[in-house]
Structures are given as structure tokens and as C-alpha cells.
Amino acid sequence: MLMKFGVIQFPGSNCDQDCYHAVADVFCQPVRYIWHKDKTLGDVDCVIVPGGFSYGDYLRTGAIARFSPAMKAVAAHAKTGGLVIGICNGFQILCEAHLLPGALIRNRGLKFICDHVYVRVETTDSPFTNACRRGQILRIPIAHGEGSYFAEPNVIEQLKREDRILVRYCDKNGNVTDAANPNGSLENIAGICNEARNVFGLMPHPERASEKLLDSEDGRLIFESILATAAFR
Amino acid sequence: MKAKIIVMPKKTVLDPQGKTVKNALESMGFHSVKDVRVGKFIEVELTADNKAALKKKIDRACHDLLSNPVIEEYSFEII
């Protein structure tokens, strides 16, 4: 069963073509771009909010993108149960748009980090991780300057209680340690979902780890989970 | 009229920028520096005459766009 994808394009998005390529060429699914000024998404099942530097990261990462017409349509799509995945800058935008709780702040070391990291799948109870094993270790690249996840303690507790932390930074053996935390994220959080579990934000780039040529294929599992969800629906 | 807005990281939020500036100040010889926090100063010029109504609007602008209440707090004055 095919799943229709839409990739949002903001001025300054730079992972939109990577996402498009992964969906179209690796997973052979229908996909189209959605311009930030578009008021409707059209007929899509899953929206990808890609990485990059939307609106030049002015003011705060994701702060301006949140007000674009396309993001209003994304919020409406999410409200009716449609799938939304925000990658890197997309995660920052989803937080700014209040589709996910918390915020992404400057990395604790202040440096922009471009590296392969390990993340541990904390739960398979989501449309984005159901093709993984619980505790599975994925090697996926990150590339960000503002990836340190922050939320108030009561929000962190709620995320834990509701099993909404989908992936955590870990070492190659799956140990969640401070040394394996690249950016200072609370609880080593690399990705979370919303209460309804249909909106997922993560800093690592699964679209850049979906082909042998790109060194790691572990990111495939995220897309395969989404496709498995389509089949189930 | 002008709104002068200050946006600062919340006390509970790690401010690596402030910490780095503190280290730099210390390396300059300012050993009495206790803490540094780095925020933003935003100046907005407006045409308005009702200060009270403007205050409400600026407050909304600060809350919804100019700051992120999850990680920042703001204050402003209108002159």
C-alpha cells in the first residue's frame, strides 16, 4: 500500500531534497513538495518538516516558520490524526508551533555538531518506531547547533510516564550516559512524540541514513515504521 | 512610540553562551564575575497613542513570538 508524503519547503530549508529523495527513490512512495505559503497540504498522509535553517534561524530556530500558512495546515493535519515527522529544524519548528512540548536550545558545548551518533529506541508504540525492536540501537547522523532538548521537570515526567520519549542518545552498546549525550539534552532525549502519538520530532536525520552508500541504513526503520502504519490503517 | 524589550533565558535553563562569556571575562582578568547570562534586546517602533492598549499588544507579541516562554522570560518598557 502506498503512502502519500508531503515535504514542506521553507526559505532556508536544506534537507528537503534529502527527504524527497529518500521517500521517492529509496522507499518508492509518492511524494511532493509543499511550499511554505501554501494554505493547504493537498492529499497527503504523512508530512515531513525537514531540516535546515528556516527563515535564517532568525529570532530563534523555528520561531518564524511557525507562523507560515503551511504550518497552520500542518497543525490541522495533525489534529485530525495525520502523521507528521519533524527532523532537526523540523523538530524545532514543531516545538515552536506547540505541536510538541519543550524547546531545543543551544548545544551545551556551543559548537555545531555534525557527526554520526547512536540512539536507542525506547518504545515501539508509535507509528514511527513500530518496525524497530525496543532497545534497538540505531546509528544516525546529527547536524545541529541548537539540539539540546529542554522542558520543565513536570513535562519531562509526563513524557516518561506516557512513554513519549521515542529515542535517546546512547553509546554504541546502548548505554544512555552523559558522555553519549552530544548536546546536553535533558534525559538524553533525541526524539519525542505528542500525546496522540501521530507527531514525532527528532534531531537525528534518518533520511541521511537510509542507504548503504551513506554508511548507515538504520534510518530506514523510521520510514519502514511509517509505511507499516499505512498498511495497518 | 518605542517598545524596548528584553528577553532573557530562564534561570532554570542552561545558558552555555553566558558561561562562555564568563570564562572569557575571567581570562581577561575579571575574576570577580559571579555569573553571566546572555539575552536579547529588541526595539520596536510603533505609531500609537493609547499606551495601555499598546502594552497589551506588546505583551502578546512578546509571549507569542519575541520570546519562547518555555525557555525565556521577558520584560519591556514603552517610551
CATH for B69:
3.30.1280.10
Average pLDDT over residues B45-55: 88
- Residues of chain A in contact with residue B16, where contact means CB-CB under 8 angstroms, are 106-110, 184
Q: What is the CA radius of gyration of chain A?
A: 16
Contact: A151, B68; criterion CB under 8 Å: no
Reply yes or no on whether the pLDDT at A233 is more than 70. no
Find the residue in B nearest to A183 (Cα): B16
At A232, the pLDDT band (50, 70, 90 cuts) reads low
Report how far apart, in Å, the C-alpha atoms of A149 and of each of A36, A108, A185, A188, B79 are: 25, 10, 4, 8, 37
At B14 the three-state DSSP class reads coil
Q: Which domain holds residue A120?
A: 5-232
Domains of chain A: total: 1
Contact between A150 and B16 using a beta-carbon 8 Å cutoff? no
Of A63, A152, A184, the CB nearest to B68: A63
Q: Please tell me the distance in Å from A151's CA to the nearest CA on chain B.
A: 7
Q: Is A207 a catalytic residue?
A: yes
- Three-state DSSP class for residue A50: coil
d(CA B70, CA A63): 13
Rounded to two decimals, the ipTM of the complex is 0.87
Q: What is the pLDDT of residues A72-127, one digit of tens each?
A: 999 999 999 999 999 999 999 999 999 999 999 999 988 999 999 999 999 999 99
The 8-class DSSP code of residue A26 comes to I
Distance CA A85, CA A126 (A): 12
CA-nearest of A126, A137, A19 to A83 is A126
Residue of B71, B73, B74 to mutate, interface with A, max A Cβ within 10 Å: B71
Q: How many domains does chain B have?
A: 1
Q: Which residues constitute the domain of residue B39?
A: 2-78
- Find the CB nearest A103 among B16, B66, B68: B68
User: Computed over its alpha carbons, how large is the radius of gyration of chain B?
Assistant: 16
* pLDDT range class, residue B48, cuts 50, 70, 90: confident
Residue A149 has pLDDT above 70, yes or no: yes
Rounded to an integer, what distance in angstroms lies between the CA atom of residue A104 and that of residue A126?
A: 22
User: CATH number of the domain that A216 lies in?
Assistant: 3.40.50.880
Distance of CA A230 to the CA centre of its chain: 18
Among A88, A95, A132, A170, which one carries the catalytic annotation? A88
